[in-house]
């Protein structure tokens, strides 16, 4: 298996056409077809269905695709590690952020990396938490913010901050509480939550089990923050979330947040990377920028309901 065969495979998958892929990688279509045939022979499986117009990935091709992409990205990381100028960090870092964290973190992180690491290309991908884990495992992304669910041991990780979950309701909802609400009463309200196992859903369900309470009264599974926001504004129900994803609506008065008391619901945000794939200099540098940024946002009070978890600066890189 050769690196060029992986590049050719990815080009065909991207364009859905041998002719377009051949133009992109600057080889003859016959040579491209020959290289793909050799790759398929080695793998023992066809990677594409040949259609009247173009091609599409077979199940084997879909399974192979993320591995080919991860291999080429690791090769690029290795190249940057030996070619970058002394004292200058160069490379590309793909960073996965959950939907419910992106509003608080995405723009500040882009600005911070651009200022501190001008020759690092930062690509942010916003995904459901359940989708980020396999991407980090296979090397499709270099870093990710994940929620500590007790199952992150396979990754190198560093705790960033702890957030409180609040009951968030339409401002004019007749069943919205006017003061702190117990977990039992909050779980009885019509709730809109992410579909399991994404986002805060495992946290809420685990809290209910530990307290010996009935399962949350979920009337809709919505894993999109934008659709969840629209549903709340339409008065369809309540949700349990940290306030940052709904900060604008809370500030404007369109939504209101109620603390859970005397119980508390919290989630811990972790910065994670693969244990098996070496972290490039660019990945390490972005990790340091992220840790410093989260600390600054918490100290400045810009991360509402966020409490900084103090750790040694180098612990993530060296763990």
Boundaries of every domain in the chain:
3-79, 87-159+267-300+310-318, 166-263
pLDDT digits (tens, 9 = 90+) for 211-270: 999 999 999 999 899 999 999 999 999 999 999 999 999 999 999 999 999 988 999 999
By mean pLDDT, which of 11-25, 31-45, 299-313 is the weakest?
299-313
Given a cut of 80, whether residue 23 has pLDDT beyond it is: yes
Q: Which pLDDT score, from 0 to 100, does residue 183 have?
A: 96
Over residues 16-42, mean pLDDT: 90
pLDDT digits (tens, 9 = 90+) for 153-204: 889 999 999 999 999 999 999 999 989 999 999 999 999 999 888 888 989 9
Please enumerate in sequence order all residues whose Cβ is within 8 A of that of 37, keeping only pairs 6 or more positions apart, or say none: none
Q: Which pLDDT score, from 0 to 100, does residue 131 have?
A: 87
Q: Which pLDDT score, from 0 to 100, does residue 130 have?
A: 83
For the record, the structure tokens of 238 come out as: 């309540």
Cα 48 to Cα 14: distance, rounded to the nearest angstrom: 12
Cα 159 to Cα 157: distance, rounded to the nearest angstrom: 7
Please enumerate in sequence order all residues whose Cβ is within 8 A of that of 30, keeping only pairs 6 or more positions apart, or say none: none
Given a cut of 60, whether residue 317 has pLDDT beyond it is: no
Residue 173 half-sphere exposure, CB side, CA atoms within 13 Å? Answer: 27
Given a cut of 60, whether residue 43 has pLDDT beyond it is: yes
User: 228: cis peptide before it, omega within 30°?
Assistant: no
Domains 3-79 and 87-159+267-300+310-318 share a fold: no
Over residues 98-117, mean pLDDT: 94
Q: Which pLDDT score, from 0 to 100, does residue 145 have?
A: 96
User: 117: cis peptide before it, omega within 30°?
Assistant: no
Cα 283 to Cα 271: distance, rounded to the nearest angstrom: 12
Tell me which DSSP letter residue 246 carries: G
For the record, the structure tokens of 280 come out as: 């490039």
Q: Which pLDDT score, from 0 to 100, does residue 239 have?
A: 97
Over residues 96-110, mean pLDDT: 94
Compute how many other C-beta atoms are within 10 angstroms of the C-beta atom of residue 226: 10
Q: Which pLDDT score, from 0 to 100, does residue 83 have?
A: 63
At the second CATH level, the architecture of 3-79 is Orthogonal Bundle (1.10)
Percent of the chain with pLDDT over 70: 95
At the second CATH level, the architecture of 87-159+267-300+310-318 is 3-Layer(aba) Sandwich (3.40)
Q: Which pLDDT score, from 0 to 100, does residue 314 have?
A: 47
pLDDT digits (tens, 9 = 90+) for 62-95: 888 888 888 887 787 777 666 665 667 888 899 9
Please enumerate in sequence order all residues whose Cβ is within 8 A of that of 148, keeping only pairs 6 or more positions apart, or say none: 157, 159, 267, 268, 269, 270
Over residues 15-33, mean pLDDT: 90
Q: Which pLDDT score, from 0 to 100, does residue 164 have?
A: 94
Instruction: Report yes or no: 98 and 199 within 8 Å, Cβ to Cβ.
Output: yes
Cα 182 to Cα 255: distance, rounded to the nearest angstrom: 19
Q: With cut-offs at 50, 70 and 90, classify the pLDDT of residue 149.
A: confident
At the second CATH level, the architecture of 166-263 is 3-Layer(aba) Sandwich (3.40)
Instruction: Report yes or no: 273 and 142 within 8 Å, Cβ to Cβ.
Output: yes
Q: Which pLDDT score, from 0 to 100, does residue 315 have?
A: 53
């Amino acid at each position: 298996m050769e690196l060029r065969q992986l590049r050719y495979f990815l080009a065909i998958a991207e364009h859905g056409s041998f002719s377009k892929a051949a133009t992109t990688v600057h080889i003859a279509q016959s040579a491209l077809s020959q290289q793909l045939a050799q790759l398929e022979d080695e793998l023992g499986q066809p990677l594409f269905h040949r259609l009247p117009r173009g091609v599409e990935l077979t199940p084997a091709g879909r399974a192979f695709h993320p591995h080919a992409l991860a291999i080429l990205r690791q090769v690029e990381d290795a190249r940057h590690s030996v070619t970058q100028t002394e004292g200058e960090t160069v490379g590309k870092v793909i960073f996965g952020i959950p939907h419910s964290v992106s509003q608080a973190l995405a723009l500040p992180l882009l600005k911070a990396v651009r200022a501190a690491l001008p020759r690092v290309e930062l690509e942010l991908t916003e995904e459901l938490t359940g989708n980020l884990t396999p991407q980090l495992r296979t090397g499709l992304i270099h870093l990710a913010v994940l929620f500590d669910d007790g199952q992150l041991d396979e990754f190198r990780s560093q705790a960033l901050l702890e957030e409180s979950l609040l009951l968030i309701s339409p401002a004019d909802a007749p069943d919205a509480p006017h003061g702190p609400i117990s977990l039992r009463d909050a779980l009885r309200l019509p709730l809109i939550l992410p579909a399991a196992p994404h986002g805060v859903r495992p946290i809420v369900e685990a809290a209910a089990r530990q307290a010996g309470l009935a399962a949350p009264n979920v009337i809709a599974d919505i894993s999109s923050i934008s659709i969840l926001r629209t549903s709340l504004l339409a008065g369809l129900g309540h949700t349990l979330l940290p306030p940052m994803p709904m900060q604008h609506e809370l500030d404007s008065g369109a939504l209101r947040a109620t603390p859970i008391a005397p119980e508390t619901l919290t989630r811990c945000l972790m910065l994670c990377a693969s244990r098996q794939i070496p972290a490039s200099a660019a990945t390490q540098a972005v990790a340091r920028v992220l840790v410093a940024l989260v600390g600054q946002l918490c100290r400045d009070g810009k991360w509402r309901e966020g409490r900084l978890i103090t750790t040694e600066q180098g612990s993530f890189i060296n763990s």
